[in-house]
């Protein structure tokens, strides 16, 4: 479970987060919606303890990332908006590296790599150097890295961007499996269809504030708009800055 | 569980060693570099042991018309090759091929003019673009002396003292010795001996920091359960070990070559034994650690690979400066020189080559004067990676 209460963060004169509060439950996929520049990246970075909040409280599985960032990170799978592969390493070496950094031993790693590789359908690329991978292959490798150490919490920044239909399905299966395992998944996205299909809960942030939280149906009901996309625009309050 | 610093270290090392360019550079620096130094020294020895007058080859056209001149030239150990008349092009060709240092052409009307006491013409052909300047001076002096001899004889025949022709007598003394010239060469060789410590780790340091930042993988790495000092430490040691291995091999090869060269022939010495060389290699390890730490600390702040490379190429020159200043100002070896990284290594080898035994203190100072700043800079880099400002830029 991820509990965030009134988190604020200021960079110089810029108020990046002006008061974000939400609760993301275990066994649910929570969508994080917000226009570009709403503070999603700052929020995710604060959650993993890369940035320190100015105000408010954060508990991830009951641990404050500011007090014990290592414990929190061991329990988080973080997929950034860039995948950051190492071109001279093969997929397996890449996964080994991050698995070892998360304290996995080689026997556990071997078994787990076989598992995620099957889950994401990436047997064909596991021994290949990651140089020249397609967007879909890259995101699969990055996602495999995210899932590798069986984190209880997943922070995914636009995991479906650039994926073809087959890969999107693989991703959806993976997310479904995580939910069934009781993981707490937060997924930043711009694809409304994905939100309606996958997510139980939606957090809408705009200009560094939480604007609304609830299931997609609740948000539609609250705004009185049947279409989630229109409801989102109405909640954010402007049509500017929507990607 | 393996320590994280080791995990990062092994991964960076593996990635670096997969790059062929880095490996090629490493091989070139460890093998070609000392061989090049050896070749330079060999040439210097060759050049200064060759006697200067030996081997002036002169081609003469019409030499039979001036037998006295020919005899005088032979006295000055000039090898004379007689030749039939040649065209100007043929002379040019001959000089260009460096078979003769110069060509002397005695004109057809030489005897006639000589007997009539008119200036008799002798042509000296030479190629000023070739290196035989000193040989040409030698020949000109011989011709001058020949002319003076004739003038003196003629004056004497008219009852005038030949001394009137020489109111001033110039005598030249050259105090430059082979040894002093070659000491400068050895000094510059030692000066560049440790330079690979600053070259071999550069690409690895840039790749693992600025490169990782440019490829946007650094954020992911920093979000892992590893502390900044573990990440920085692993990267720092990985790039340093390459320089350490490279410099050690380079020193061994250079040592073998310098020991083999007949340095004593030009009044120089290389009094190092293999044991002392091992100590020098050990004392040089922190130099690679220092350069690695500096590069990591600087490159991690650059946004792109290119930016980092430009910054580091400038920094790379800095360690050569103290050595140049010392040799330029001709400073005598002093204790403080062992406190300046790089200069301390150069001084260490210079003194060892000269005397062979200098006691343990210079080794200890050389070791520590690079190690302490290296640790400080690495600590600074870790602190920097932890700072929020840095995270924002990633």
List, for residues A68-86, the tens digit of each pLDDT value.
Answer: 999 999 999 999 887 789 9
**Cβ contact B219–A82 (<8 Å):** yes
Are A60 and A27 contained in the same domain?
yes
| pLDDT tens digits, one per residue of B221-254 | 999 999 999 999 999 999 999 999 999 999 999 9
Q: What CATH architecture is B54-165?
A: 3-Layer(aba) Sandwich (3.40)
State the pLDDT at residue A78: 93
Which tops the pLDDT comparison, B173 or A182?
Answer: A182
Are A8 and A115 contained in the same domain?
no
Q: Is the pLDDT of residue A242 over 50?
A: no
State the pLDDT at residue B73: 86
Are A124 and A227 contained in the same domain?
no
Minimum CA–CA partner of B15 in chain A:
A88
State the pLDDT at residue B355: 74
Are A9 and A64 contained in the same domain?
yes
State the pLDDT at residue B356: 67
Q: Is the pLDDT of residue B364 over 90?
A: yes
Of A126-135, B93-102, B125-134, which gets the smallest average pLDDT?
A: B125-134
Domain region containing A220? 1-75+153-243
Average pLDDT estimate for A159-185: 86
Q: Does the CB of B221 have a partner CB in chain A at under 8 Å?
A: yes
**Cβ contact A89–B220 (<8 Å):** no
Best of A101, A142, A146, A153 to mutate (most B CBs within 10 Å, chain B): A101
Q: Is the pLDDT of residue A54 over 60?
A: yes
Minimum CA–CA partner of B391 in chain A:
A50
Are A144 and A159 contained in the same domain?
no
Are A186 and A108 contained in the same domain?
no
* Domains: count for chain A: 2
Residue B179 is encoded by which pair of tokens?
Answer: 């040894």
Of A163-167, A199-203, B367-371, which gets the smallest average pLDDT?
A: A163-167
Collect all residues of chain A within an 8 Å Cβ-Cβ radius of residue B220.
Answer: 78, 80, 82-84, 98, 142, 145
Are A164 and A243 contained in the same domain?
yes
The ranges assigned to domains in chain B are: 4-48+178-393, 54-165
Are A116 and A176 contained in the same domain?
no
State the pLDDT at residue B89: 87
Best of A86, A87, A153 to mutate (most B CBs within 10 Å, chain B): A86
What does pTM read for this prediction? 0.80
State the pLDDT at residue B265: 74
Of A182-191, A229-238, B208-217, which gets the smallest average pLDDT?
A: A229-238
State the pLDDT at residue B177: 59
Secondary structure string (H, E, C) spanning chain A = CEEEEEEEEEECCEEEEEEEEEEECCCEEEEEECCCCCCHHHHHHHHCCCCCCCEEEEEECCECCCCCHHHHHHCEEEECCCCCCCCCCEHHHHHHHHHHHCCCCHHHHHHHHHHHHHHHCCHHHCCCECCCCCHHHHHHHHHHHHHCCCCCEEEEECCCCCCCHHHHHHHHHHHHHHHHCCCEEEEECCCHHHHHHHCCEEEEEECCEEEEEECHHHHHHHHCCCCHHHHHHHHHCCCCCCC
Angle at A189 between CA A183 and CA A191, to 5 degrees: 120
Distance between B188 CA and the closest CA of chain A, angstroms: 39
SS3 B70: helix
Are A143 and A31 contained in the same domain?
no
Q: Is the pLDDT of residue B219 over 80?
A: yes
Q: Does the CB of B7 have a partner CB in chain A at under 8 Å?
A: yes
> pLDDT category, A136, cuts 50, 70, 90?
confident
Average pLDDT estimate for A216-224: 87
**Cβ contact B7–A78 (<8 Å):** no
> pLDDT category, A28, cuts 50, 70, 90?
very high
Q: Is the pLDDT of residue B99 over 90?
A: no
Are A142 and A188 contained in the same domain?
no
State the pLDDT at residue B206: 92
Minimum CA–CA partner of B385 in chain A:
A50
| Domain at A220, CATH number | 3.40.50.300
- Selecting from B11, B216, B391 the residue whose C-beta is nearest the C-beta of A50 gives B391
Among residues A150, A173, A190, the one where a domain terminates is A150
Are A112 and A130 contained in the same domain?
yes
Are A29 and A68 contained in the same domain?
yes
Q: Which one-letter DSSP state was computed for residue B304?
A: S
What whole-number distance in Å separates Cα of residue B77 and Cα of residue B153? 24
| pLDDT tens digits, one per residue of A100-122 | 999 999 999 999 999 999 888 88
């Amino acid at each position: 479970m991820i509990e965030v209460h009134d988190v604020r963060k200021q960079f110089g004169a810029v108020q990046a987060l002006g008061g974000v509060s939400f609760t993301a439950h275990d066994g649910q996929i929570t969508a994080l919606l917000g226009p570009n520049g709403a503070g999603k990246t700052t929020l995710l970075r604060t959650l993993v303890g890369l940035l320190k909040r100015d105000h408010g409280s954060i508990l991830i599985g009951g641990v404050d990332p500011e007090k014990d960032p290592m414990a929190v990170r061991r329990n988080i799978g973080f997929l950034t908006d860039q995948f950051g592969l190492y071109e001279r390493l093969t997929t397996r070496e890449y996964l080994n590296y991050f698995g070892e950094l998360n304290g996995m031993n080689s026997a556990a790693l071997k078994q787990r790599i076989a598992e995620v590789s099957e889950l994401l359908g990436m047997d064909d690329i596991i021994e290949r150097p990651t140089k020249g991978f397609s967007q879909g292959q890259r995101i699969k490798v990055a996602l495999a890295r995210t899932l590798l150490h069986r984190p209880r919490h997943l922070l995914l920044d636009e995991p479906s961007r650039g994926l073809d239909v087959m890969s999107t399905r693989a991703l959806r299966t993976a997310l479904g499996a995580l939910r069934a395992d009781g993981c707490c998944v937060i997924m930043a996205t711009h694809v409304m269809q994905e939100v309606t299909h996958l997510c139980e809960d939606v957090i809408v942030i705009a200009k560094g504030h939480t604007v609304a939280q609830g299931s997609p149906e609740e948000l539609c009901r609250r705004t009185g708009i049947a279409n989630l996309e229109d409801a989102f625009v109405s909640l954010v309050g402007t049509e500017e800055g929507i990607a | 569980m393996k320590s994280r610093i080791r995990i990062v270290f092994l991964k960076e090392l593996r990635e670096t060693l997969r790059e062929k360019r880095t490996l090629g550079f490493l091989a070139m620096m460890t093998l070609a570099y000392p061989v090049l130094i050896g070749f330079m020294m060999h040439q210097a020895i060759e050049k200064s042991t060759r006697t200067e007058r030996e081997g002036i080859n002169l081609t003469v056209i019409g030499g039979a018309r001036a037998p006295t001149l020919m005899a005088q030239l032979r006295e000055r150990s000039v090898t004379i090759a007689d030749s039939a008349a040649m065209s100007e092009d043929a002379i040019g060709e001959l000089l260009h091929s460096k078979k003769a240092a110069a060509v002397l052409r005695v004109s057809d009307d030489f005897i006639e003019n000589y007997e009539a006491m008119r200036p008799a013409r002798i042509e000296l052909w030479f190629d000023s673009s070739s290196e035989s300047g000193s040989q040409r001076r030698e020949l000109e002096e011989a011709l001058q002396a020949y002319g003076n001899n004739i003038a003196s004889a003629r004056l004497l025949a008219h009852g005038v003292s030949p001394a009137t022709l020489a109111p001033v007598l110039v005598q030249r003394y050259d105090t430059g010795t082979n040894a002093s010239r070659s000491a400068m060469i050895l000094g510059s060789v030692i000066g560049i001996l440790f330079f690979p410590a600053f070259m071999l780790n550069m690409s690895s340091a840039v790749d693992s920091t600025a490169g990782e930042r440019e490829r946007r993988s650094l954020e992911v790495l920093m979000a892992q359960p590893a502390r900044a000092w573990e990440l920085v430490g692993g990267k720092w040691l990985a790039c340093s070990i390459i320089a350490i291995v490279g410099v050690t091999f380079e020193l061994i090869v250079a040592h073998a070559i310098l020991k083999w060269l007949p340095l004593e022939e030009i009044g120089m010495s290389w009094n190092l034994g293999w044991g002392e060389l091992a100590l020098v290699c050990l004392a040089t390890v922190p130099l690679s650690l220092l350069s690695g730490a500096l590069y990591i600390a600087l490159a991690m702040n650059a946004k792109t690979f290119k930016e980092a490379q430009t910054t580091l190429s400038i920094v790379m020159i800095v360690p050569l400066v103290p050595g140049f200043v010392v040799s330029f100002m001709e400073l005598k070896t002093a204790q403080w020189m062992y406190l300046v990284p790089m200069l301390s290594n150069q001084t260490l080898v210079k003194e060892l080559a000269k005397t062979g035994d200098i006691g343990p203190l210079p080794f200890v100072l050389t070791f520590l004067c690079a190690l302490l700043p290296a640790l400080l800079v690495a600590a600074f880099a870790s602190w920097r990676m932890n700072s929020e400002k840095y995270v924002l830029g990633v």
